[in-house]
Amino acid sequence: MNFVEETVSILEELYRHGWDERNGGNLSYIIEEKEVKDFLKEEKILRTYHYDFDMSSIVGKYFLITGTGKYFKNCKRDPETNLGLFKILDKNTIGLLWGLKDGGGPTSEAPTHLSCHIERLKVDPLHRLVIHCHPTNIICMSHVHPLDEASWARDLWKMQTESIVVFPEGIGVLPWMLCGGIKIGEATAKKMKEYRAAVWSQHGLFSTGRNLDEVYGLIETIEKAAEIYMKISGMKIYSEISNENLKELAEFFKVNYKKGVID
């Protein structure tokens, strides 16, 4: 299975969960040079796109990126129309090598994705993937929960045993901002210096990681914790995971949780 087939299988799962309705959501995936050479007969630039921010640190890298206005549900049937393989040509330009055969361009969130890749690579050289999706309960929670990162981390960790193990650093939280612009891209990239996932209030989730399974699993875990929160919020709680229980979990699984949240 090549990187396009692997990616399409995850996009299909995201759509079936209801997390990427219509053309909601987008993905960008760093592809290794060897994978590209195995996939393409020749490297030819079909179209170029320019962005007003510095991509110097990722020049030469290849990215598989979902197209603007494309529906995840159509990717399995026609990946070459809905996805594009790009190369970073210089600090302001990306070039299309394959895909988007109907003349379309990369997602409007591409600058945010690429900015996030730049920041995550500084933290983790093995980083490869950014997925933006619209998990229902995360969006619900952003309506009724204070937009405070420490309390989001604490409350999500307490919802289920797995949470602190899967995202011990917590989660970034942004207030509602206009999507598709430079401002939200800069704010999201800033969060990625500390977190692998960030909430866009009343909109969705940006998640990052080393591979498709890791990032998809991160989204699943955060969304399930948010679902539990929404289902029990307002009810009388008779039993819960305590701060000491969370510390015990962190010690047992040898994860370095964000300090100041439960201490």
**Helix 182-191 vs helix 110-123: crossing angle, to nearest 10:** 20
For 246-261, letters b (16+ CB in 10 Å) and e give beebbeeeeeebbeeb
Report the distance separating Cα 202 and Cα 196, nearest Å: 19
State both tokens at 15: 């759509």
CB atoms within 10 A of CB 179: 15
The predicted pLDDT at position 248 comes to 97
Closest CA to 215 of 105, 124, 90: 124
pLDDT above 70 covers a percentage of the chain that reads 100
The predicted pLDDT at position 255 comes to 96
Give the mean pLDDT of 78-83.
97
**What is the set of active-site residues?**
109
The predicted pLDDT at position 182 comes to 82
246-253: list long-range contacts, CB under 8 Å, 24+ apart.
246/157, 246/158, 246/164, 249/161, 249/164, 249/165, 250/164, 250/165, 250/168, 253/165
The predicted pLDDT at position 180 comes to 80
pLDDT above 90 covers a percentage of the chain that reads 94
CATH number for region 109-263? 3.40.225.10
Residue 1 has pLDDT above 80, yes or no: no
Tens-digit pLDDT profile for residues 57-73: 999 999 999 999 999 99
The predicted pLDDT at position 89 comes to 98
Closest CA to 28 of 104, 97, 114, 94: 114
The predicted pLDDT at position 181 comes to 78
Angle at 150 between CA 219 and CA 233, to 5 degrees: 70
The predicted pLDDT at position 23 comes to 87
Give the mean pLDDT of 237-247.
96
Report the distance separating Cα 116 and Cα 121, nearest Å: 8
The predicted pLDDT at position 25 comes to 93
The predicted pLDDT at position 74 comes to 93
Tens-digit pLDDT profile for residues 9-25: 999 999 999 999 998 89
Among 31-35, 168-172, 182-186, 247-251, name the one with the lowest average pLDDT: 182-186
Amino acid at residue number 248? E
| Predicted TM-score of the model (pTM) | 0.95
Report the distance separating Cα 200 and Cα 186, nearest Å: 13
Tens-digit pLDDT profile for residues 38-63: 999 899 999 999 999 999 999 999 99
**3-class secondary structure, 122:** helix
Q: Are 149 and 242 in contact (CB under 8 A)?
A: no
User: Where along the chain do the CATH 3.40.225.10 domains lie?
Assistant: 1-107, 109-263
Give the mean pLDDT of 144-170.
97
Asked if the 1-107 domain carries CATH number 3.40.50.300, the reply is: no
Residue 133 has pLDDT above 80, yes or no: yes
Which residues on neighbouring strands pair with residue 49, listed in sequence order? 94
